[in-house]
Structure 1
Amino acid sequence: MDQVLIVGGTRFIGRYTVSEFRDAGYDVAIFNRGNHDNPFADDEGVTHVQGNRRDREDLAAARDEVDPDAVVDCVAYFPEDVRVATDVFADVDAYVYVSSGAAYGEERVPKREDDTALEPCSEEEATTDSGATYGPRKAEGDREVFAAAEDGVRAMSVRPTVVYGPHDYTERFAYWVDRVAVQDRIAVPSDGMSLWQMAYVEDVASALRIVAEEGEAGEAYNVGDEHAPMLGQWVELLAETLQTGVETVGATERDLARHGLTPQDFPIHRASPHLLETAKLRALGWSSTPHRVALQRTVEEHRENDRTGRQFGPDRDVEEELLDDLTE
């Protein structure tokens, strides 16, 4: 393979996927509507094709212009997106769909690609853009990948869990970076025992390249950090990275309720453990970045660009009232 088409390619996962393939010696084309700044505008090895990924004719025009050997689809959010793309790109050497760990519909620890059931997806859910339908839509996209593979397309799926790293515009993880960097004491729900495995963005990008090169048609591959700290341990790792100290105060659901809060009001909190088995991907030669390296890069970018994530967590005044209540 020499030429790769990235559907998306300028914001977060797509941005790092472009860099991953470029570093591996590929020529890359990015296909999107051009609504965001292109960080690769000065790279002669990266071309931009403008169009709407939800428009079949635009996808076909991009295929004809680029003639890609591989396609990585970072922004397929509806099953129809995958169905159309696997048809338009049926003859490429590899089509890789960015799915999600949210596609799993069974609470098991860990979740395995070939054993853990996927979310069901109704016709209504397949076309409804909401947080509640995200997992079902991604699961149905996986099923479209499997169906395409049965028809002879070398289509594969990569399922990341929650992705963190530089340029993360969701700022979910930035909330905790900011709290540890700025505050002397912070509230942590459930005594910091929440386990929601994360995936460093550069590792997701390398997984997408490796699966494109080495993956098997009709297969799904989980990706997540090989070590999965609990929330309280993430706080400790951030304090170490920021070279600061912070007092963590555990808050039960009842403690939070007295101040109008729930554990889910804190980013990266999950009521039940979410852990993906990554042995299948590791067997292809993939490995994850050590946390100290990943966090150093993440913290530097978040602080340089003032990513705080404060809007995604409890108001600090309310948190202070909670902390005072818990430490009296």
Structure 2
Amino acid sequence: MKRVLITGGTVFVSRFAATWFAENGYEVFVLNRGNHLQPENTTLIKADRHQLGDRLKHLSFDAVLDITAYDAQDVHDLLNALGPFDDYILISSSAVYPENLSQPFVETQPVGPNTIWGKYGTDKIAAEQELLKSVPNAYILRPPYLYGPMQNLYREPFVFDCAVQGRPFYIPKDGKMPLQFFHVEDLCRFIHLILQNHPSDHIFNVGNRETVDINTFVKLCYEAANCPLSVQHVFSHPNQRDYFPFHNYSYVLDTTRQNKLLVQQKDLLQGLKESFLWYQSHPEDAPKRGYLAFIDQNFQ
């Protein structure tokens, strides 16, 4: 039984990962401040990652899954506190690629500032660099939009709300902007494959092979909720983030490296059905934003 340390464990990706690895034969330790309900069948290390002292020095791990590192200090403090470990996997972000690079983005392209993602992207770059400075054989994963059960962002849940309320959906412009997704279970499966196979590549774009445009994504969300769809296209309003949960930013990741290991991926419609069922019974997981109020005030 492999022993893994997962940072977080209480919100979306880290919560799903802790549950998934525990259910798939791993001994799971979660590191968080103990302020939320903990995943079942895991061992809590109740601490702030910036104030660990010697809490981890006596423990050894087959892998550290660092899901909640957002900047270099996060990585630095955890590394300084760890005892022995074999593998370190950092969940970074596709926000590390400057938007002016040729697409699809590949792992060999240089990272740099991205004006859409701003500080979030540059902090993720710093986290990657801090890790590789100390653990050059670490693995770094760069996902696009993650989705699935336990979602804590009001993305697909917003579309579900529109669907179940019988609302038309307001789509930016012609709706042909591509979006790339990755189901949180596929992320866990890929991490599992890395730990099994130890591939020679150490930086991976992760995501679905195929992108979908906004039109298709909205259609699939309504289908997942088993609701009829009517659409209104918005051409005049300048800021789509006022009424739509994704930036006006089109990017595509090349996932060739990933696909050599992760041969099968979850169908997007099936994944959205799983996300919808979770959201129906856990509506508090994804706090609502003001999209509906804006739509009612400006588009009705």
TM-score by length of structure 1 reads: 0.82
The alpha-carbon distance between structure 1 residues 267 and 143, as it changes in their structure 2 partners (threshold 3 A), is farther
* Residue 48 of structure 1 pairs with residue 44 of structure 2: yes
Match of 2:268 among 285, 291, 298: 291
Q: Structure 2: which amino acid aligns with 1:67? A: S
After superposing the two structures, state which structure 1 stretch, 141-150 or 289-298, moved more: 141-150
RMSD after superposition = 2.4
Quote how far apart the aligned CAs of 1:181 are: 2.3
The alignment partner of 2:209 has SS state of: coil
Name 1:313's counterpart in structure 2. Answer: 291
Matches within 5 A, 1:1-328: 2-40=2-40, 43=41, 46-57=42-53, 60-64=54-58, 66-89=59-82, 91-107=84-100, 108-115=102-109, 117-120=110-113, 132-150=118-136, 154-216=137-199, 219-252=202-235, 255-257=236-238, 262-285=239-262, 287-306=264-283, 310-315=288-293, 316-321=295-300
Distance in 2, matches of 1:269 and 1:120, equals: 19
Quote how far apart the aligned CAs of 1:234 are: 0.8
Distance in 2, matches of 1:174 and 1:147, equals: 39
In our comparison, the structure showing a higher alpha carbon Rg is 1
% same residue: 24
Distance in 2, matches of 1:309 and 1:166, equals: 14
Distance in 1, matches of 2:270 and 2:56, equals: 37
Quote how far apart the aligned CAs of 1:208 are: 2.5
- Contact 2:55–2:81, Cα closer than 8 Å, also in 1: no
Q: Structure 2: which amino acid aligns with 1:225? A: N
The alpha-carbon distance between structure 1 residues 319 and 191, as it changes in their structure 2 partners (threshold 3 A), is farther
Q: Structure 2: which amino acid aligns with 1:164? A: Y
Name 1:125's counterpart in structure 2. Answer: none
After superposing the two structures, state which structure 1 stretch, 179-188 or 28-37, moved more: 179-188
Name 1:126's counterpart in structure 2. Answer: none
The number of equivalent residue pairs is 295
Q: Structure 1: which amino acid aligns with 2:26? A: Y
Unaligned runs of 5+ in 2: none
Distance in 2, matches of 1:319 and 1:310, equals: 18
Distance in 2, matches of 1:88 and 1:282, equals: 34
Unaligned runs of 5+ in 1: 122-130, 322-328
Q: Structure 2: which amino acid aligns with 1:174? A: P
The alpha-carbon distance between structure 1 residues 13 and 180, as it changes in their structure 2 partners (threshold 3 A), is same
Normalized per residue, which structure has more helix?
Answer: 1
Q: Deviations over 1:56-100 (max 9, x none)?
A: 41xx41242x32111101111121221333444474110111111
